[in-house]
A = this chain, B = another copy of it.
Amino acid sequence: MAHKSAVHGHAPLEVLVGRVPIFAGLAPEELQEIAGRVRLRRHVRNEQLYGAGENNPFLMIIHSGQVKIFRITESGHEQLIRVLGEGDFLGDMSFISGAPKDHFATTLETAEICALHHDDLRDYLLRYPSVTYKMLETLSSRLESTERQLSALAGEDADHRLAAYLLELADEHPTAKFPLPIAKKDVASFLGLTPETLSRKLTQFEDAGMIRQHPRRTIELVDVPALHRL
């Protein structure tokens, strides 16, 4: 039973599904089949998709918007793990391990998200090895960046972590002036800092002539070599 395109102004579901990296390369009729098993929903900003302890049996695929994945440590501290965007999926962990979630997922902005039941996913993974392989690629790259983040947290001080983060962002943008993709408090959480420390470091970088801060959380890198040097 195919859903009708629930969201106005959008391409049909199978086209959306075909744009998702892990399903890219499947034949049109295969996409159509998957599209028929998928439930597309619109989520408002700051909506919790699932929380720790829950057992939400869906693989979720983001068509638009951003989702943040974070943990709450025993001491109540919120640790941002990663931010997912268009084409990314979440909910894979509990599919594979069968264990309930141990983290939280909430939207950072209005988002359109597909949900595919774990039973269906299992079916596709068995029938389309290319999908399994794509997931493997994705997890591998997530693992790599999480490991990098881990060693940065343990080994580098606040200045280095922040500089590395800004330079990484700069790589993803054509110009040296770009907005932070997320709120500063989330940047702080991601970098393992308090918002206060982040704020101080940013003004410190600005005073040192390495960056400039503009309205709407926009950062301009003025002295890239200095940031690299640090």
Residues in A lying within 8 Å of B, measured CB to CB? 71, 73-75, 77, 79, 81, 92-93, 96-97, 102-103, 125-126, 129, 132-133, 135-137, 139-144, 146-157, 160, 192
Residue of B nearest to A153 (CB): B153
Q: Nearest 5 A-B pairs (CB), nearest first?
A: A73-B155, A154-B192, A77-B155, A79-B151, A129-B129
Cα of A192 to Cα of B140 in the assembled complex, Å:
23
Q: What's the minimum C-beta distance from A19 to chain B, rounded to whole angstroms?
A: 22
> Cβ of B77 and Cβ of A150 under 8 Å apart?
no
Cα of A154 to Cα of B197 in the assembled complex, Å:
14
Residue of B nearest to A230 (CB): B74
Cα of A150 to Cα of B75 in the assembled complex, Å:
14
> Cβ of A143 and Cβ of B141 under 8 Å apart?
no
Task: Tell whether A146 pairs with B150 under 8 Å between CB atoms, given A125-B133, A126-B129, A133-B125.
Answer: yes
Cα of A140 to Cα of B95 in the assembled complex, Å:
10
Interface centre among A92, A137, A140 (most CB of B within 10 A): A140
Q: What's the minimum C-beta distance from A200 to chain B, rounded to whole angstroms?
A: 18
> Cβ of B75 and Cβ of A155 under 8 Å apart?
yes
Task: Tell whether A151 pairs with B71 under 8 Å between CB atoms, given A136-B136, A140-B139.
Answer: yes
Q: What residues on B are CB-neighbors of A103 within 8 Å?
A: 147
> Cβ of B73 and Cβ of A156 under 8 Å apart?
yes
Cα of A96 to Cα of B135 in the assembled complex, Å:
11
Task: Tell whether A146 pairs with B148 under 8 Å between CB atoms, given A77-B155, A129-B132, A137-B96.
Answer: no
> Cβ of A151 and Cβ of B96 under 8 Å apart?
no
Interface centre among A102, A143, A151 (most CB of B within 10 A): A151
Cα of A74 to Cα of B129 in the assembled complex, Å:
39
Task: Tell whether A97 pairs with B132 under 8 Å between CB atoms, given A73-B151, A147-B103, A152-B73.
Answer: no
Q: What residues on B are CB-neighbors of A192 within 8 Å?
A: 153-155
Task: Tell whether A79 pairs with B143 under 8 Å between CB atoms, given A74-B156, A74-B160, A96-B137.
Answer: no
Cα of A126 to Cα of B129 in the assembled complex, Å:
7
Q: What's the minimum C-beta distance from A11 to chain B, rounded to whole angstroms?
A: 29
Cα of A69 to Cα of B139 in the assembled complex, Å:
18
> Cβ of B97 and Cβ of A151 under 8 Å apart?
no
